[in-house]
Structure 1
Amino acid sequence: MISYDPLFQTLKRKHITEYQLVYKHGFSAYIFNRIKHGQNITMKTLDTLCFILNCPVSDIIEYHKDK
């Protein structure tokens, strides 16, 4: 299972709010809502987040083996 927990930790660490991500950086509010609900995102979205936050993929997602 893919978890977006690292993204929320990265946003907190970099002092970036959801509002700033959407309105200052032009990130889609719809896609951010999908992330908050644990739904799938595209590799392009992942690339965009890495670019905006200037971080590696591991700061956005992590993998947890299903039980």
Structure 2
Amino acid sequence: MATGSVASRSGLFKFLRPGLRLQSTDVSAAVTWGVAATTTALWLVQPFDWIKKQFQKPEPEQ
């Protein structure tokens, strides 16, 4: 079943010329730039106190 869905997805790019089709290097470059952009955004914003508060258990009220 999964093989059929992969074949149908590759058919979406059949109308493009081979030079314009999505290549594996395009995907890896996009992932690399996404990681770089996310890392840069976190470095600029540095929301570590907020993240720590989100994962702390609330203290029980007395």
Answer whether TM exceeds 0.5 for this pair.
Answer: no
Tell me which interval the TM-score lies in, with the shorter structure as reference length. under 0.3
**TM-score, with length taken from structure 2:** 0.27
If asked which structure has higher relative contact order (CA below 8 Å, sep 6+), I would say: 1
**TM-score, with length taken from structure 1:** 0.25
Higher helix share: 2
